[in-house]
Amino acid sequence: MISKLFSLAGAGPASSSSVSKFAYNGFLGANLELNGAAEILPNGLLRLTNNNDKQEVGHAFHPIPFSFLNSFEEPFSFSTSFIFAIFPLYADLSSEGIAFAVSPTSNLPAVLPSQYLGLYNYTHNDDPNNHIVAVELDTTESKEFSDINDNHVGIDVNGLKSVAAAPASFFSDSSFDFGFQNLSLISGEPMQIWAEYDSKNIQFNVTIAPLNVKKPSLPLLSSKVNLSSVLLRDMYVGFSASTGAATGSHCILGWSFAMNETAEELNHSKLPVLPPREEEAAMKKTNHWVLPISIAVAVSLLLSICTVTVVVLLKKRRKYAEVIEEWEKEYGPQRLSYRVLYKATRGFSKENILGNGGFGEVYKGQLPKSKQQIAVKKISHESKQGMKEFVAEIASIGQLRHRNLVQLLGYSRQQGKLMLVYEFMPNGSLDKYIFGRVEKPLSWKQRFHIIKGIAAALLYLHEEWEQVVLHRDIKACNVLLDAKFNGKLGDFGLARLQDRGEIAETTRVMGTFGYLAPELSRTGKSTTSSDVFAFGAFLLEVACGKRPVELRGCGVQMVLVDWVIEFLKKGKLLEACDRRLEEFESEEVEMVLRLGLMCSHPMAAARPGMRQVVQYLERETPLPEMTAEDFSLFQLASLRNGLVDCAFSVDSR
């Protein structure tokens, strides 16, 4: 393991330094406490281990401890930055590594070299009494510590099993090298590390980059690490490095550290020069005749590298090129670059996932410039709808404007990557409040407000926009809630546009089982009436707290419409409402249940239009009574559709 880069520990002497920060641009005159193989060279370079074939340990610590706890025994924040280089004795073969340490003592006794990095031995590794945290730069893979590979950075607590680790790499926002770029820790090239602990948010960030690259905008590691039980009041800061049989040298060029603030930037112009590798110096003395051949080889190699570089750059340009097709030109202002969304979602990190669906993942993000919170739907390559779904959503919701529709802010295409960007809805989807075990279920007042909002949105889609928009997937999980629990209809992946008066063509049935109108199994034609049928199912599930159907194999265990009708026939309709509702307006609940049955009528012609639905909900028009003939139609339709649905194939998400 190359190095347990950042080691923090927690017990120390009785008094600590009044100084809260320092910076070394080279170490000439630095009063560091050195142990083992560590030494400061005449040019100011701190060398922790030397180029030989021995197993050894090198320690270099600041001689005075710092106070890491406040008067309430709570940890302080801290940060450090240092520049290091690792020279392997043999090319591509290194042994262990460097550790920046905050330790209870500057003298770490009874520690071992090799994979223990000069911090532990086999008896007290993983001992909570160590009070040591480490961020490792590891160049060997130790199976006993579950290392991810032989070239990684990790954060460790009291032992060598990392609580967070990632392959050594740095984030680049260059047009040609966008994303995380690999680094070789044993390249012999100087690299800079930034390790920062935010005690308030218990957030530990570690960032790495080549010396000639400014600090990346995204850290390599960003992890929640609670150090309250690890850090002690007085602790030392310093470095530890160790070697094995095939060794090299571990060098530190500059180092800064600060408590409760950002560590000072290092001055690269004042850093000591790294010495040439020993084997290279020996070759210069004994192989003078190699120079002419080397020059010829170098020129040839340079030409080859230039050719390869041009090819790679062209490939990367094509990789991140965002081809605009003819249909997209109309929506150009809404297009966002993949690079912007990558930054906004912290590289589409797992921590930012809001949910998953048949289309792929949804990520939370924040636009870099405006700081607006967004939700990014990343359509997967395996999605059944794929580009067709993507185009449908842009072509429909991209131009719609209504307070009860989720606003599409933009979209992105980058080769096979398809992304839609929405306003962020902090309270998530309605279904988790209706069907999930939440601490505080929605009140009837909230539910009725959401119902009226979705009805208004559907009226806008069906009658008030310039074209008819068929949503074709109305259900509780596609209704999202903003910060004030206003309901907004989203997910237009199955939506379809048609001109007014146009007759829909027969097509594949799209939607979700339980929300599909009976006529769809015969005609395959989606209409505003089939949307109304799905809205009826939505009304009943919101009022009753039950799903439209509960399936067991191919058989239907319970059909919600039939279940509500049984209560209606007995004159006990209100007993069908969700038992979690503590207070409600009886007339409103009964009206919603009856309206849900009307919208769920098996005959499309008997269902109301959305304008009528809104009038009923606003009590501008009284609901008609259901007749005995209506009951019979419902029961016959349920029996018939139960048989049809088992044999009929439905595209469901």
Strand ranges, E, within 211-352: 221-224, 234-242, 248-259
Residues 535-563 as b/e (b if ≥16 CB within 10 A, e otherwise) read bbbbbbbbbbbbbbbeeeeeebeebbbbe
CB-based contacts of 433: which residues, under 8 Å, 6+ apart? 441, 442, 481
Higher pLDDT, 613 or 562: 613
Taking alpha carbons only, the member of 117, 182, 122 closest to residue 149 is 182
The predicted model gives 599-616 an average pLDDT of 93
Judge whether residue 25 has pLDDT over 90: yes
pLDDT score for 591: 95
pLDDT score for 506: 47
* Count of CB atoms situated within 10 Å of the CB of 319: 12
Higher pLDDT, 516 or 486: 486
Report domain 322-424's class: alpha beta
Q: What is the pLDDT of residues 413-425, one digit of tens each?
A: 776 678 888 899 9
* Residue 230, both tokens: 């690890």
Q: Which residue has the tokens 């209809």?
A: 489
Q: What is the pLDDT of residues 95-150, one digit of tens each?
A: 577 888 888 888 887 677 666 788 887 777 788 888 888 888 888 888 788 888 88
Cα separation, 100 vs 102, whole angstroms:
7
Of 473, 531, 578, 630, which is the active-site residue? 473
CB-CB contact of 246 with 89 (8 Å)? yes
Q: Could you tell me what percent of the chain has a pLDDT over 90?
A: 34
Write down the architecture of domain 426-653 according to CATH: Orthogonal Bundle (1.10)
- Mean pLDDT lowest for which of 36-50, 328-342, 376-390, 610-624? 376-390
pLDDT score for 317: 55
Higher pLDDT, 23 or 369: 23
CB-CB contact of 217 with 343 (8 Å)? yes
pLDDT score for 257: 95
Assign 648 to helix, strand or coil: coil
pLDDT score for 101: 85
Domain ranges of the chain: 6-275, 322-424, 426-653
Helix (H) / strand (E) element for 57: namely strand 57-61
pLDDT category at 247 given cuts 50, 70, 90 is low
Cα separation, 619 vs 227, whole angstroms:
59
pLDDT score for 588: 94
The predicted model gives 591-600 an average pLDDT of 94
* Residue 320, both tokens: 């991140």
Q: What is the pLDDT of residues 288-319, one digit of tens each?
A: 445 566 677 777 777 777 777 776 666 655 55
pLDDT score for 521: 74
State how far the alpha carbon of 649 is from the alpha carbons of 508, 512, 524, 642, in Å: 9, 11, 11, 13
pLDDT score for 645: 40
Q: How many CA atoms lie within 13 A of 134 on its CB side?
A: 30
The reply to whether 322-424 and 426-653 are identical in fold is no
Q: What is the residue-averaged pLDDT of the chain?
A: 80
CB-CB contact of 378 with 362 (8 Å)? yes
* Count of CB atoms situated within 10 Å of the CB of 642: 15
Judge whether residue 491 has pLDDT over 60: yes
- Mean pLDDT lowest for which of 107-111, 177-181, 641-645? 641-645
431 is catalytic: no
Taking alpha carbons only, the member of 166, 592, 179, 638 closest to residue 417 is 179
Question: Regarding the domain delimited by 6-275, which CATH topology (the fold level of the hierarchy) does it fall under?
Answer: Jelly Rolls (2.60.120)
How far is C-alpha 400 from the chain's CA centre?
28
Give me the DSSP letters along 590-642. Answer: HHHHHHHHHHT-SSGGGSPPHHHHHHHHTTSSPPPPPPHHHHHHHHHHHHHHH
Strand ranges, E, within 437-512: 468-470, 479-481, 487-489, 496-498
Q: What is the pLDDT of residues 505-563, one digit of tens each?
A: 545 556 666 788 888 877 778 899 999 999 999 999 999 999 888 765 555 567 899 89
Strand ranges, E, within 229-368: 234-242, 248-259, 353-357, 360-366
